[in-house]
Amino acid sequence: MTTATRTGRHPSTLATLWRSTVGKKAVMAVTGLVMLLYLVAHMLGNLKVFFGPDDINGYAAWLRTIGQPFLGHEWFLWIARLALLASVVLHGVSAYQLSRRDLAARPSKYVHQRRRAGYATRTMRWGGVILGLFVVWHILDLTTLTVNPVAEHGHVYQNIVGTFGRWYSDVIYIVAMLALGLHIRHGFWSAAQTLGANNARRDRVLKLTANTLALVLTAGFLSVPVAVMTGAVN
């Protein structure tokens, strides 16, 4: 007897959708696109470091005033952070649950062991773990400034130069951005399939878009630590 039969109530449409494999894939696709839009905006903001301290510090100060006087100081930033956090959590939970279902659906015994997962699947799983750990480090480094050697609130330029002046910060960031590029490349294509945007005619364009987005975002994010390491930004 199901829970719905025992209680006399049927689960809501959203609950039914969430429990289904298709629903979880749709959640992953939509939240992935939300995070992709954030990454594009974040990369463009990071590139302001090449225009000097006044430009990027002024941009950071402007972000805290968006929506005023209707919104209070930093309200927009906190709304955006909460929306992004919800997307990350839903994306991660969906990915984990789909992975568990995939493992449970496999036959347990074979004379010849089946190949566990394709390259794309393994990349998405391990890339997701790497990016999750990096997000924690990145927040501690450049948001709360807990592990930043400079830690000057309101001085984004100086904080960026400070963090990328350490070799291990550069290694962490570079590995994470390479993982991000692969995640975007495979994720964009997967999201297009889930949302039904792909077909024989559009496949080539979608693959080209996925590759271009991954390349541009990876190169854009990596240009900042490389510039600090080479002295172009100091």
Taking only the tens of pLDDT, the chain with its 234 residues reads: 455 555 556 678 888 888 888 888 889 889 999 999 999 999 999 999 999 999 999 999 999 999 999 999 999 999 999 999 999 999 989 988 887 887 777 655 444 444 444 555 667 778 888 999 999 999 999 999 999 988 888 899 999 999 999 999 999 999 999 999 999 988 887 787 777 776 777 788 888 888 999 999 999 999 999 999 999 999
Evaluate whether 160 touches 228 at the Cβ level (below 8 Å): yes
Contact between residue 209 and residue 157 where contact means Cβ atoms under 8 Å apart: no
Alpha-helical segments (H) within the chain: 3-7, 13-19, 21-46, 53-63, 75-105, 119-142, 156-163, 167-194, 203-230
CA gap 18, 26 in Å, rounded: 9
Say how far apart CA 16 and CA 14 lie, in whole Å: 5
